[in-house]
Amino acid sequence: MLVIVAPGQGAQTPGFLTPWLEDRTFASRFEWLATVAGIDLVHYGTEADAETIRDTRIAQPLLVATGLVAALELFPHPADAFSMIGGVAGHSVGELTAAAGARVITAEQAMVLVRERGNAMAEAAAATPTGMTAILGGDRDEVLEALAGHGLTAANDNGPGQIVAAGTLEQLEALAAAPPAKARLMPLSVAGAFHTEHMGPAVGRLASLARSVSVHDPRTPVISNKDGQVVHDGQDVLARIVGQIANPVRWDLCLETMADAGVTGVLEMPPAGTLTGIAKRALKGVETFALKTPDQLDDARAFVQKHGEASPIDTSPTWRMVVSPGKGTFHQSAEAAGTDVLAPGTPIGEVATSRDRTRIVAAHGGQVVEWLVEDGDLVSPGQPLIRLHPEGSS
């Protein structure tokens, strides 16, 4: 099983886009998305220095545009991708890249949203001097206790041995003066305390825009970095992207979902390296591929061929399927048991783990064609639970 991942802010480096723009097709597609965003992304990806592209308003559109156009280079015929990719996930702003790649939103919608996301987050960051610091190593419980003691938020939980703290500069300075035992602190080159309450004002701006965005259910399972769940409803994907601005990124739970789903290969879109580095530490035995430059494309396609397989969503139209958001035990609801037709929004059951219970609904409803699991069955992330046919269709 292959998962494609898209990096978040901080992955960009000066000039990383230069080799990609040597390809005329890439360059024309990239210039189109830059025009949609209204930003000279070619300049920022080739000539601007590190401090300039650190600006949230520049970094975020630059990352999303690069990932989307590189995906078209990797899969010249997009339909081929849906028969090969078992799931997509994005870290922070990378979720917009993943959502567009899964056809929840268009590339143009993604560029408008990421432009406004970057602007709103930059404005929120300017209100109070804030920042982020990576904490490498140390005991997890001790690290979280130290953050709570300083009033900091674990804004990114990236898996074993890497938590990113976010808060005011004073709070981060206090943490640096008394770091957790056996932990190394590394201040990050970002412009604010992203994925914390400090970004609250930006959520309202994106939420108002999102109400006017038309969405489709994903063609490929989307693993949400809110909680690692597989999301199968387009409106839910977009709502999570909006709310995630002011909430922690749980990449550790995304990695758990990948492991539970049986992933064998993780390919990271450019500018790559960060997420594959994390995957190497967290997903032992899983192969990774960091796509950094266009001269790697042939090797990347070979990697896709090696690990790719059709997801259940590709072989069955997404509006007919309801899938499990994660690993656990399925419990059928009383509302769905013995019913031939489900109204939109009808709960079909829950997936229970030792940690929590996740409610599952048939967002679009329809006629029950067949149940693919029984009450009490163990299920995996993205596993089809029920097949539905749109009510009133022949």
Residue position matching structure tokens 């149940």: 371
Sequence-separated (6 or more) residues with CB below 8 Å from residue 28: none
Judge contact between 291 and 269, C-beta under 8 A: yes
Residue position matching structure tokens 């749109």: 390
The C-alpha atoms of residue 5 and residue 63 are separated, in whole angstroms, by: 12
Q: With residue 50 as reference, give the H or E element that holds it.
A: helix 50-53
Residue position matching structure tokens 């610091």: 133
- DSSP designation for 188: -
Sequence-separated (6 or more) residues with CB below 8 Å from residue 187: 131, 132, 133, 134, 172, 176
Judge contact between 80 and 305, C-beta under 8 A: no
Sequence-separated (6 or more) residues with CB below 8 Å from residue 335: 346, 347, 348
Give the number of C-alpha atoms closer than 13 A to the C-alpha of residue 95, restricted to the C-beta side. Answer: 29
The C-alpha atoms of residue 388 and residue 223 are separated, in whole angstroms, by: 22
- CB atoms < 10 A from the CB of 214, how many? 9
Which amino acid does the sequence have at 349? G
Active site residue 195: yes
CA distances from residue 281 to 151, 158, 238, 351 in whole angstroms, order as listed: 29, 11, 30, 28
Q: Among 195, 232, 307, 364, which one carries the catalytic annotation?
A: 195
Q: Among 77, 83, 91, 92, which one carries the catalytic annotation?
A: 92
Give the number of C-alpha atoms closer than 13 A to the C-alpha of residue 263, restricted to the C-beta side. Answer: 32
Active site residue 92: yes
Structure tokens at 182: 């056996």
SS3 229: coil
Judge contact between 8 and 93, C-beta under 8 A: yes
Residues acting as catalytic residues: 92, 195
